[in-house]
A = this chain, B = another copy of it.
Amino acid sequence: MRYLRGTWMRGGTSKCWLFDAADLAGGDPDAVLAAAFGAGDPRQLDGVGGATSTTSKAALVQRSATPGIDVEYRFAQVGIGARRVEWGSNCGNCATAIGLYSLLTGLVPARPGHTTVRMRNINTGTLLAATVATPGGAVPESGAAVVPGASDGGVPVELAFLDPQGSTTGRLLPTGRAVDHLPVPATLVDAGAPAALVDADELSVDELIALRRKAAVLMGLSEQDDAIPKTGMVCPPRDDSHDLRIRMLSMLAPHPSVGLTSAVAIAAAAGVEGSVVHQALGGEVPRVLRLGTPAGVVAVRAEWEDGVLRAVRLDRAARRIAVAEISVPLALAS
């Protein structure tokens, strides 16, 4: 039996297990995580996983040697009913949790007032910053901040995606155009993640999936990867609680709210004149853009400097659920 110390956090609408990267060195981290989570079983009955995509997540966290970066992390999507771990993406909700975790564990010292944890996601190279109110240098353990899609309150964490444009393709507009015709008008944008944002209200999931494939080709992405481009519909608001109404896909099914990297892409597209997002806003881009999702309103703030997107900020919440010593069955993790 191998014992693995982990911290279980809720970040936004996800549950993530955070580990000290050093504790998984010198072995096969895929095998250890799969065994710890009970990944081989479709109910993850024999481990710490939650048996849904948003509750089967982990990250390996370590101090960074890079100047200006406090911590680095590798995000792991752990299999459900398959002893497999995917390392291809980032998770903004886990990043929110890692920000608070870094302060709670002393990995990053808290200062009086506010403390910002600067992070690098190793999987994608994305830079992020999490800022937490730390009055008198004390780190809060609980709070009342609620995000759409979660019922309970957590510690407020401002999460910023830094210099997010062109994160995957190198260009904010991979096709060089604000609108492509697929034939439905769509804006193909790359910030936080590549996204295909469609000027539509009532497309079926099948129509969106077909459109998604065309967008992938135009953006130079693989048609086989279900994770990107993020795809969804953008249209004018129904009421004044929000500025835009959005409906995204998640792994080829309707997303219950909106992924954070998708929110970043939408905020980026809002700043591109002539894009379907800019048009749905009637050409008026508010400083705080309120996205109306099925679960509620998610607010994003984009910061442009000389036509370059410097940051996109979101208000999130996080909480430490437990600190644990996990028993990892040796036969599976060796």
A→B interface (CB under 8 Å):
1, 6, 8, 10, 13, 15, 38, 40-43, 45-48, 50-52, 54-55, 141-142, 150-154, 319-327, 329-332
Contacts and interface: CB of A to CB of B under 8 A. Distances in A.
Given A8-B48, A10-B46, A48-B8, A40 B322 contact: no
A54 B321 CA distance: 20
Contact of A141 (B1, B15, B142, B326): B1
A321 to B, nearest CB: 6
A101 to B, nearest CB: 12
A24 to B, nearest CB: 16
A46 B322 contact: no
Contacts of A46: 10, 150-152, 154, 319, 321
A278 to B, nearest CB: 34
B331 A327 contact: no
A332 B142 CA distance: 11
A190 to B, nearest CB: 30
| Copies, count | 2
Contacts of A13: 45
Given A55-B43, A329-B319, A152 B38 contact: yes
Contact of A319 (B8, B51, B327): B327
Given A1-B142, A331-B142, A150 B41 contact: yes
Contact of A321 (B10, B48, B52): B48
Residue with the highest number of chain B CB atoms closer than 10 Å, among A8, A10, A45, A320: A45
A216 B50 CA distance: 36
Nearest to A319: B46
